[in-house]
A and B are shown apart, each in its own frame.
Chain A
Amino acid sequence: MSEIGLVLISVGVVFDLFGCIGLVRLPDIYNRLQAATKCVTLGTCMILIGVAFYTGLDAIGVKAIICAVFILLTSPTGAHALARGSHRSGVPLWEGSVGDKYREDKEGGEVHEEA
């Protein structure tokens, strides 16, 4: 069991590293948010599940699983909140983007500020 745990932890750590490379390399906030949220969420969940496999079903393992479920639910929610907040505070998309339907609809009045 502990070998499975170590493999999961290694893969998770590497995904965390990819997410942070994305955070540094990608050009605008929305792309960074995408790469970082996806990779770091799955990476940390795999670390936690790996910890659970490594120790077995004791106090540490069960807490690790609860923490993994919690991160899986909250991390994307935080990402929506941040994406919406930064779009409404006026951060533009990268100049190489191919269209921004959200801004068009906001200017056309289909999306209201309080919606």
Chain B
Amino acid sequence: MPNISAKRALQPEQLPKSMEEVQVVNIETDLLIIGGGNAGCFVAVEARKLNPEIRVAIMEKGEIMRSGACSAGMDAINTYIPEGKTPEDLVQWSRAQVGGGPLREDLALSNAEELNEAVDDLERWGLPVLKDENGKTKYRGKWDISIHGEQLKPIMAEKAIEAGADVYNRVAGTGLLMEGDRCVGAMGLGVRDGKLYVFSAKAVVNSTGGAGTLYKSYTADSTDCGAQIWMCPYCVGTGYAMGFRKGAELSSLEQRWVATRTKDFCGPVDTISVGYKAPIINCKGEKIMQQRYAHLGGDAAPRFIRANAPMNEWLEGRGPTYCDTRGLDDATNWQMMCDYLNERPTFVLFLAARGQDPVKEPIEIFGSDPYIMGGHTMGGFWVDIDRMTTIPGLFAAGETAGGNPNKFVGGCAAEGKIAARGAWKYMQGMAQPALDEQQVAAEKERIYAPLMRGGDFDGVSPREMKERLQRLMDEYAGGYSQFYRTNEERLDYALKHIKMLQDQFRFLKAADLHELMQANETMDRVDVAEAVVHHLKARKETRWAGWQTRADYPERDDVNFDCFVETVRDPKTGEVRAFTRPYEQIVPGDRYNYPG
């Protein structure tokens, strides 16, 4: 029974009316993977390769063929080490992209060593990788290669299923199962059948994806535009929230991912600026990177500077900003449209709906809302070299694993393999954990409460609370409307209101299972937002303007902050503690510039 399909959602009259009516499904497995995305699929394949007898279960919120951030497809693999370059070169480039770090060079290096093999797996599995006229892999930038990745997600999912993983579709993870300080499984809500799924496992890999929808998006103000963001809006930070609530250490959440995206319809821009060498220009037609950021590297400036540059133009009165695609030849334009169709198909529809031909009119660009994504920037769990978090038995891979930026698709795949090996090593000699009924009962109470309040209950809808949080984060914790800037007082204000929201969880109400899932997602968002604000508060400097801008500490402070900012929430008291960990340079050379 590998890919277990969900059925139609229960009708209102079929919903459980009391906690006693909630059915519990117990599943015993060796390895539990929370989230069957890019990283999760590779965990499954690698685990079954290590031992074909191992029982692997995937708890999947969507349906694995089209779930998560890769559901629409992908147009490039952003990192694949070319001939003549080494893993050390890639780490050096990655370090310069994040302004010299700090970053976890141990993790980055181990990932880089695994990277090409993981990308080759994808090609062997059927992913079309574009070739040049000599039959060699076609590079569109220094490290990134072009693919026709419309089928990327089904290709990965099919391999996870073929490898023998049992995929439980439409089960949304909510909380970890613990035995003392050790993680021994996880629980989730069946969003179609309403059952509580309890997975007991010897080891768990948390690969739920990152956190979008913590901040308000600038289009989230009218009809049908609430999820008009670049990051998959169904990745809400549940993985971070689950670990954080049980005391797992989070790292570097203040290094948010803010990207330059196409304006009004949030599509990728590297596709055009890197892939097709289209310069970024302002309203006067000035080439921004060359004319205003030459001293920081121009087009090769660190990623956060490139991301922040167009928004600075707006701030200083020189918007709109564009990627100048004018004059592209027809063949190149056709290729560019195919790239969009592979990753963000509706952008092509958007251009058609504007009656716009990018060969004649440049494509407008703008900053995105901020995301927490350990596969792009560094926010995620503090992990050891085996990708185990500070909770024994809980591993992280992909967006959930922190400290190691610029992973993208290939790096998340590679990290899935590394985490699978770590988990496999960890579970040797481990007995099947006993089920703690009390913990299950407590989690049931927590996650089903919004469904049990009764039709007349005067409460708060999951959407109302989500929108309150998004507005709060946008205005006080450095969202797009504030040009990503914040200060101590605003962050204190945000924390005060996050505490109020946490206290108001008891008013959340859900009329059906879909809303119950959303209620749980919103609680996860609030908890992750709490961690984000503590991280932003603790870094009293500005290291990565745009990603992390402190208006009250506008300079970089290497004396105090050339290190990692960490947080831990006490599972008993709920108190959050922030502290630092030192940075260690492993790959020698200039930290701030990539020479290649």
Q: Do A and B come from one complex?
A: no
Q: Write the residues of chain B forming the contact surface with A, with a CB cutoff of 8 angstroms.
A: none
